[in-house]
């Protein structure tokens, strides 16, 4: 039996093994069943077993990749002396870490974003973005449970998603354009953060049903995407 065939029997989570084999294939085949089966064949996993590992297809593969990236980011940030950094520096470090770790798989990330950009995948895209920025704030030491919980995550979602788009097309050495953009975005957010936070507090002080109506159903959509209020 070849080394590749034996790899599937080492006790490592099957989905992690499949993901590792899948990422180099995704730039050519997309997050597809075809790509998954090619990855499975490469490490000697039977096709039915591979398909059972990701019964949700592309959506589940992309979600698992995002979750794994969040976990790797948190592991890396745990090794940093976060307490010695200012909050803005912690957030900048979290964003940089998340993107830098994904650099070998940049094209796979691009294919995943193309998938998530489709209207029918909006709820999944929102859920994955929320989980990423929530992990960043937790790593930065945020333990807020009031309106700041929402405002911080909404603002960081804008910073992270816009920086991600710049990163995807940044051909500069060491991604200097991306990191300069990130610093500017953080500066902009700090300027508007206080006013935005006060606006969020006013909204959250409204009765929930009234807030849902005035926000165009934001509460309902957030719950459908799997969000939970920190006050519950």
* Token pair listed for 70: 């969040």
At 224 the pLDDT is: 54
Residue that wins the pLDDT comparison between 164 and 216: 164
**Is there a single domain that holds both residue 202 and residue 179?**
yes
Cα separation, 193 vs 15, in Å, equals 39
Q: What are phi and psi of 181, to 5 degrees?
A: -65, -45
At 187 the pLDDT is: 86
Residue 110 domain flag? yes
Q: Is the dihedral of CA 132, 134, 138, 140 positive or negative?
A: positive
At 202 the pLDDT is: 52
Residue 141 domain flag? yes
Residue that wins the pLDDT comparison between 158 and 7: 158
**Is there a single domain that holds both residue 64 and residue 51?**
no
**Is there a single domain that holds both residue 82 and residue 103?**
yes
Scan for tokens 């470090």, then name that residue.
Answer: 93
Cα separation, 60 vs 4, in Å, equals 24
Asked if residue 201 has pLDDT above 70, the reply is: no
DSSP state, residue 142: -
Tell me which of 68-77, 99-108, 148-157, 174-183 is least confident: 148-157
Instruction: Grade residue 78 by pLDDT with cuts at 50, 70 and 90.
Output: very high
CATH of the domain at 165: 1.10.357
Please state at what angle helix 87-101 crosses helix 122-139, rounded to 10 degrees.
Answer: 130
Asked if residue 205 has pLDDT above 70, the reply is: no
**Is there a single domain that holds both residue 219 and residue 119?**
yes
At 214 the pLDDT is: 43
Residue that wins the pLDDT comparison between 204 and 79: 79
Cα separation, 193 vs 19, in Å, equals 38
**Is there a single domain that holds both residue 130 and residue 23?**
no
Instruction: Grade residue 12 by pLDDT with cuts at 50, 70 and 90.
Output: low
**Is there a single domain that holds both residue 39 and residue 132?**
no
Longest dimension (CA), the chain: 65
Q: What are phi and psi of 187, to 5 degrees?
A: -60, -45
Residue that wins the pLDDT comparison between 105 and 227: 105
Cα separation, 121 vs 119, in Å, equals 5
- pLDDT winner (highest mean) among 10-24, 89-103, 146-160, 218-232: 89-103
Give the residue among 192, 173, 66, 202 at the shortest CA–CA distance from 129.
66
At 198 the pLDDT is: 52
């Amino acid at each position: 039996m070849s080394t590749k065939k034996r790899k599937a029997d080492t006790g490592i989570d099957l989905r992690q093994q499949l993901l590792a084999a899948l990422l180099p294939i995704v730039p050519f085949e997309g997050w597809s069943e075809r790509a998954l089966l090619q990855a499975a064949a490469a490490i000697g996993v039977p096709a039915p077993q591979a398909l059972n590992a990701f019964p949700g297809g592309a959506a589940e593969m992309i979600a698992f990749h995002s979750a794994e990236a969040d976990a790797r980011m948190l592991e890396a940030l745990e090794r940093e002396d976060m307490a010695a950094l200012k909050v803005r520096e912690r957030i900048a470090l979290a964003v940089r870490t998340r993107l830098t770790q994904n650099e070998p798989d940049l094209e796979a990330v691009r294919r995943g974003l193309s998938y998530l950009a489709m209207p029918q995948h909006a709820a999944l895209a929102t859920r994955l973005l929320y989980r990423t920025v929530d992990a960043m704030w937790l790593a930065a030491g945020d333990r807020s449970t009031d309106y700041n919980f929402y405002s911080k995550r909404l603002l960081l979602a804008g910073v992270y998603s816009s920086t991600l788009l710049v990163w995807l097309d940044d051909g500069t050495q060491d991604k200097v354009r991306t990191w300069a953009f990130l610093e500017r975005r953080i500066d902009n957010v700090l300027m508007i953060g206080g006013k935005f936070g006060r606006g969020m507090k006013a909204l959250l002080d409204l009765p929930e049903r009234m807030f849902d109506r005035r926000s165009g159903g934001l509460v309902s959509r957030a719950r459908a995407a799997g969000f939970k209020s920190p006050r519950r």
